[in-house]
Amino acid sequence: MSQEIKKAVVTGGAGFIGSHLTEALIAQGYQVIVIDDLSSGKLDNLEGCRDKSEFVNGSITDFPLLKKLFQGVDYVFHQAAIPSVPQSIESPRATHEVSVSGTLNVLLAASENKVKKVIYASSSAVYGDAPGLPKTEEMLPSPLSPYAAGKLAAEYYCSVFEQVYKLPTVSLRYFNVYGERQDPNSQYAAAIPKLMSMILEGRPPVIFGDGEQTRDFTYVGDVVKANLLAAQSDVSGVFNISRGESISINQLAELIMKIAGKKLKPIYKEARIGDIKHSVADITKARAFGYEPEYDLEDGLAETLEWFKSR
């Protein structure tokens, strides 16, 4: 008897992480539907997947659309978001509409269609500057931005849908994801693509604050693997996804310059509102479902830099 093909939906599937996840699902033999309103995602990100997946230009704020798309679906990988702390501070209402109302729509549509599991992309931002390192899932969250508050509210909705409506859910708290296809040109761009594009162009890297703030950077390939493992295992709840090691932004800039073979003097600017000082994850809990980061920072940065050069 032929094995039944599993069906998955990736919300925000034309985005940086979503497109990598879409590729991996196709490689594993899934039938994939991507829904993205292209507000930050790009069709170019799906170059290799367009003929092997179905693309729907739409938003998670459109409940009737989700209800229709989730028919017969096994897994929903919910990546869609307004993916930026500074942007959320400028547009808190839009952030809430997508992060909270949009996630509620995803959960309702999944529940009504008896989807096997929803895997939700949460964020380390929910911890804020809660005291204590490394960050463990048992810590009391302390969001510092509308982005973080929305991610936390959506996590709570996931947990409620599991308890009340018996819809299995997993919330993966990503720590500073980087890799190929991350947009360096947005005014809200993350640290690594921004630093890489400046350094490759021979411009001094701009660092906000004193550069001594630390982050736990996670290569996108590891995040994709965590999503697939979380879907295929019987775990539910909240899990940190990272490398489990931190580095200061000053050291990060040095490392990128070393790999790129450039020597530039950073320019320091005022620290940004909503930025936390130190962040590193405890990933013991995620190891329980088989997650193990494969990429050390230098290897991940080297791969990412190659991609940036080829652009």
Positions marked active-site: 147
Instruction: Tell me which DSSP letter residue 43 carries.
Output: G
Q: Which residues contact 244 (CB under 8 A, 6 or more apart)?
A: 134, 216, 280, 281, 282, 283, 293
> 250, 191 in Cβ contact below 8 A?
no
Question: What are the distances in angstroms from CA 30 to CA 67, 73, 127, 167, 238?
Answer: 20, 11, 34, 21, 25
> 36, 12 in Cβ contact below 8 A?
yes
Of 97, 304, 95, 115, nearest to 196 (Cα)?
304
Query: In this structure, how many other beta carbons lie within 10 angstroms of the beta carbon of residue 234?
Result: 7
CA pair distance 143, 165, nearest whole angstrom: 27
Of 63, 171, 149, 58, nearest to 111 (Cα)?
63
